[in-house]
Structure 1
Amino acid sequence: MAGSGWSRRRAERQWQRDLLREIRAMETTDEGPDGGRVTPVRGGLPRAPRAPRRGRREPVAHERRRTVVTVLLTTTAILSLVLLNVGPGSAQVRAWLGFDDRFGTQVDGDGSGSYEFLATRPGTDEPVGWSSCEPIQYVVNTDGAPGDWEELVDDATERLSEASGLVFEDRGTTDDRDFEGRFGLGGRAQPVLIAWADEDEVPGLGGDVAGLAGPISRDDGMFQRYVTGRVVLDKEAFEEIESVRGGDEQREAIVLHELGHLVGLAHVDDPGELMHPTTETTELGPGDRSGLAILGDAPCG
């Protein structure tokens, strides 16, 4: 009896060591293209050992339960090492093991209406998007902004988050007006910059353009995903629209339209959709919602 129990425990300890070695091997990182990091996956995990048979005698019920509980507790402890890992590739390992790290609530779209994406993953129809396991952080430069800028941004981000499941995180205000260089020291992505400007500062705001926006992506060798971006709104257009009837709804619709670009939607020809170039409606259309639901379901990356 004692000898068999000792052998079983030794087998379990060996299995634990093998499992931990395999997990560490999967978390090994290699240099990828553009300085990114790649997490290779190397085969399956070793199977748990079976208790040795002892002649024709079957183990009694309480012995069987004790063995199963020991294995389950040991497995949970080892998987915790993966879940707590914050190094490159940890999200891919957790997803591979079946854990859902979604930051917000998944939205189910019905696929109706017209929608287009700014970019798709090579060889697929899947759009490039933001990680669904992290919030989209943003800062606001208030120079030239309307007095109710905070309400406009809060309402628009809340509406887009509800339609997509993506979560926006307000990181406060900033003096930064670098719309192009959204990477800091060591190539770290900076929060999305939301600001008001004129065509002298941003030539693209000339003519009837009331806003510009776009995400910036990064490819780590396994996934291409958006990691930062900018939203630039025409301060003169916002001043003019504010004084007309229904101006508040129109200004918020412009912010929401540009946030649609930020998360990955492109223009469509249907004037019933908010992503129509002229923004003739102030509400999200069926195609807008279908596209946003798909973008909100992007992999963690």
Structure 2
Amino acid sequence: MHGEERDDGGTQPSRTAPRPPWPSEAPSVPVSGWTPLRVAIVALLVAALVLWSSALAQGARWPWEGRYDFTLPSGAVALEADERPSPGVGAAAQPLGAPPPASAADGSWSFLRLQRDGVTPVAYDPCRPVHYVVRPDDAPPGFESLVEEAVAEVAAATGLRFVYDGRTDERVTRDRAASQPARYGDRWAPVLLSFERPADNPDVGRGIAGRGGSDAVSAGGPWVYVTGSVVVDADWAAEAAGSPWGRAAVRAVLVHELGHVLGLDHVDDPDELMHVTNDGQVDLGPGDLAGLAELGRGACEPGL
């Protein structure tokens, strides 16, 4: 359901990713008054220290490694005329910004969907701002700054203008309507970012920290993304956000999922943040940046 895929990049030379701090020694246990229970506790601590040392020797992994998954929702949607907002709402005569100049750095990137020519990626309309809302329920403390930082990073990489429309009580669903006039007025629904518990949303949890994606529509011309959603495992985020390294992990998940929202697919390159798993990456890699820059050069479609 993801359309054609393309990999235009090379492979970046290996980088050293920052790692979380590891304890230098096991917790101490009193040596007086030995009992079978205390002997068992010491044995467990020794075993844990051995496993910890082994993991450190092999290169420590973030606890959320393997928690990325493919996008939600995905694909193009067919809307009847009465399901679409009035054409051209919020559209300017020219792009509102421009992506950074192309870089000579090597990297890997891939697009979720291509236009009918099989080459050009589907992207958001650069002549309109990308509006977004955030559901605060179940979000970790300080979530607003994490979201703001993640949005600013992808905005700088694409040149797209993002506008925060405030909070919402809407949840992420697979059948989310692209146009919701009763809730958001006569326009395309804003991108929705939500932290949700696995007990409430089965699309997260069980090793999946987040999902993200967008809906594309066409008025006879190029396909254009008009709205999307990001859902993050609230239970995992609440626990992770309690430390600086954990907050960096939550922010990295948000950037990764926003990359999906804007049109990037996973790549088989561990030096990129869009890699399907994370081995400690916290920043966009050269391929991520190159792909996002191309996605910032999408077509302006005032007819939508």
> Which of the five TM-score ranges fits, normalised by the shorter chain?
0.5 to 0.7
Structure 2 distance, partners of 1:168, 1:153, is 12
SS of corresponding position for 1:204: coil
Q: Tell me the amino acid that sits aligned with residue 184 of structure 1.
A: Q
- Structure 1 residues 285 and 188, CA, compared in 2 at 3 Å: closer, same or farther? same
Q: Does 1:181 align with 2:177?
A: yes
- Structure 1 residues 221 and 151, CA, compared in 2 at 3 Å: closer, same or farther? same
Q: Does 1:154 align with 2:153?
A: no
SS of corresponding position for 2:144: helix
- Aligned ranges 1:15-30 → 2 under 5 Å: none
Using the size of structure 1 for normalisation, the TM-score is 0.65
Q: Which runs of 5+ in 2 are unaligned?
A: 1-77
1:244 CA displacement: 4.6
Q: Tell me the amino acid that sits aligned with residue 155 of structure 1.
A: E
1:200 CA displacement: 2.5
1:105 is aligned, of 86, 98, 123, to: 98
**Alignment match, 1:294:** 294
Conserved? CA contact 1:34–1:220, under 8 Å: no
- Structure 1 residues 90 and 148, CA, compared in 2 at 3 Å: closer, same or farther? closer
When you count helix as a share of all residues, which structure comes out higher?
1
Structure 2 distance, partners of 1:268, 1:142, is 31
1:198 CA displacement: 1.8
**Alignment match, 2:120:** 126
Paired residues, number: 214
Larger deviation, residues 249-258 vs 108-117: 108-117
**Identity within the alignment, %:** 36
SS of corresponding position for 1:292: helix
For residues 209-243 of structure 1, give each alpha carbon's deviation from its aligned partner in whole angstroms, at most 9, with x where no partner exists. 11111111111111210000111011111122223
Bigger radius of gyration: 1
- Aligned ranges 1:1-301 → 2 under 5 Å: 34-35=79-80, 101-110=94-103, 112-179=106-173, 180-185=176-181, 188-244=187-243, 246-280=245-279, 281-301=281-301
Conserved? CA contact 1:34–1:219, under 8 Å: no
Structure 2 distance, partners of 1:137, 1:89, is 12
Q: Which runs of 5+ in 1 are unaligned?
A: 1-32, 38-85, 95-99
Structure 2 distance, partners of 1:214, 1:87, is 23
Structure 1 distance, partners of 2:210, 2:123, is 21
- Structure 1 residues 295 and 145, CA, compared in 2 at 3 Å: closer, same or farther? same
Conserved? CA contact 2:178–2:226, under 8 Å: no
Q: Tell me the amino acid that sits aligned with residue 204 of structure 2.
A: L
Larger deviation, residues 169-178 vs 252-261: 169-178
1:294 CA displacement: 0.3
For residues 58-116 of structure 1, give each alpha carbon's deviation from its aligned partner in whole angstroms, at most 9, with x where no partner exists. xxxxxxxxxxxxxxxxxxxxxxxxxxxx965997xx9xxxxx60111332223631001
Q: Tell me the amino acid that sits aligned with residue 217 of structure 1.
A: A
For residues 135-185 of structure 1, give each alpha carbon's deviation from its aligned partner in whole angstroms, at most 9, with x where no partner exists. 110011100001101100111111111111111110001112253224214
Using the size of structure 2 for normalisation, the TM-score is 0.65
Conserved? CA contact 1:215–1:230, under 8 Å: yes
Structure 2 distance, partners of 1:282, 1:89, is 36
1:35 CA displacement: 4.4
Task: Report the aligned-residue RMSD.
Answer: 2.5
